[in-house]
Amino acid sequence: MVAYVTRRLLLLIPMAIGMVVVTFGLLLLVPGDPAAVLLGPEASPEMIQNLRQSLGLDDPWYVRLGGYFWQLLHGDMGRSIFQSAPVSEIIAGRIGATIELAVVALLLSTLIGVTLGVVAAIRQGSIVDTVSMLLAQLGVSMPVYWLGLLLMMAFAVTLGWLPSIGRGTPMPEALWAAVTGRPQVLWDSITHILLPALALAANSAAIISRLVRTSMLEVLREDFVRTAYAKGLRRNRVVVRHALRNALLPVLSVIGLRFGALLGGAVLVEMIFAWPGLGQLTFSAVSQRDLPLIQGIVLTFALIFALVNLVVDLLYAAVDPRIRLG
């Protein structure tokens, strides 16, 4: 296990270097002079020259790349061009909201996906199976922003059950408030996060459900499941204790990969539900072509995703000895 963990951690290094290179490369893609593009047509030559200097654009690319690495190693992502603040500070103020949304969506999609998949598998060929898999096909095909709008229309506008936009108290604080005797704070946070998280979760829930169904169908045909039935165990016990535990293994690695899709989808969902996270920040940074901020955001998203995958891989290795020994 130690060898596996070490190998997996070492793999992060080339990965992170590659990500920094790609993020840096974005700047090289800008057609023409980035400084002139950033300042717009009204800018005077002096202003452009000043910005070129502060962005270090007059140096050759390898010097700039080296400088970028050096900067990042010191936790410095540069300064935003339009908001007079360091990129890292701006991102730090937003990252919690996005992670909260993505984590809740991940939990929801796992819960919905596994339930649908198991139900479909144990009733293979029944109407339940058909309906679940039809739902899954729709869930895979539905654009996340459209589902968000439909949910908002149904549950916030028409029925008025849930708030349509915004975020309640951040979850950690809300949980603390609930523990200290103010459950209504937590309830408020939950009502705010429910719709955006559900919209975000649908796509992944659909993919997970299809995977769980396939995986369950395979496991249910195994000898040890037949043995369990032969021992006279009840069906629920066999399904949950014997089949599901084994069927979930391949699902675990996919759940990690889904986190990347959830982070990307969060950009769209945050726009619709006015969720104050990195997604909204991405939108405004892209609208203003605030390059240092865009670079910082892209890199942050990639690093979160890489860390989540690391955790999932380690979990996987902890559960499945074939991985850590193989």
Partner 1 sequence: MRIPKPLRNPSLVVGGLIVLTLVSLAVFAPVLATHSVDLPDMRNRFSYPSAEHLLGTDNLGRDLWSRLIYGARISLSIGVISVTTAALIGTTVGLAAGYFGGWIDMLLMRITDVFLGFPAVVLTLAIVAVLGPGIVNISAAIIAVTWTEYARVVRATTLVLREQNYVQAARALGASWPRILFREILPNTLGPIVVLASLGLGTAVIIESAMSFLGFGLPPPTPTWGWTLSFGTRFIRDEPWLSIISGATIMITVLGFNLLGDGLRDILDPRQLSRVGANK
Q: How many residues bind partner 1 (CB under 8 A)?
A: 52
CB-wise, 220 or 294, nearer to partner 1?
A: 294
Question: Tokens standing for 209?
Answer: 């459900």
Tell me, residue by residue from 270 to 289, as one string, x for binding to partner 1 by CB under 8 A and - for no binding. Answer: -xx---------xx-xxx-x
CB-wise, 144 or 220, nearer to partner 1?
A: 144
| Binding status of residue 116 toward partner 1 by CB under 8 A | no
Find residue 79's DSSP bridge partners: 86
| Binding status of residue 99 toward partner 1 by CB under 8 A | no
Residue 111 CA to residue 102 CA, distance in Å, equals 14
CB-wise, 93 or 260, nearer to partner 1?
A: 260
| C-beta pairs of 15-23 under 8 Å, 24+ apart in sequence | 15/306, 16/303, 16/306, 19/299, 19/302, 19/303, 19/306, 20/68, 20/69, 20/72, 20/299, 21/65, 23/295, 23/298, 23/299, 23/302
Spatial contact of 259 and 76, defined as CB atoms under 8 Å apart: no
Span near partner 1 by CB under 8 A; candidates 39-47, 115-123, 236-244, 259-267: 259-267
Span near partner 1 by CB under 8 A; candidates 25-33, 55-63, 191-199, 241-249: 25-33
**Residue from 155, 273, 275, 305 that binds partner 1 (CB under 8 A)?**
305
180-210 burial: b if 16+ Cβ within 10 Å, else e = eeeeebbebbbebbbbbbbbbbbbbbbbbbb
Neighbours of 154 (CB within 10 A): 13
**Residue from 5, 19, 225, 252 that binds partner 1 (CB under 8 A)?**
19
Minimum separation from the CB atom of position 250 to partner 1 (A): 10
Distance of CA 123 to the CA centre of its chain: 32
Q: By the criterion CB under 8 A, which residues form the site for partner 1?
A: 14-15, 18-19, 21-22, 26-27, 29-31, 137-138, 140-146, 149-150, 152-153, 157, 207, 257, 260-261, 263-265, 267-268, 271-272, 282-283, 285-287, 289, 291, 294-295, 297-298, 301-302, 305-306, 309
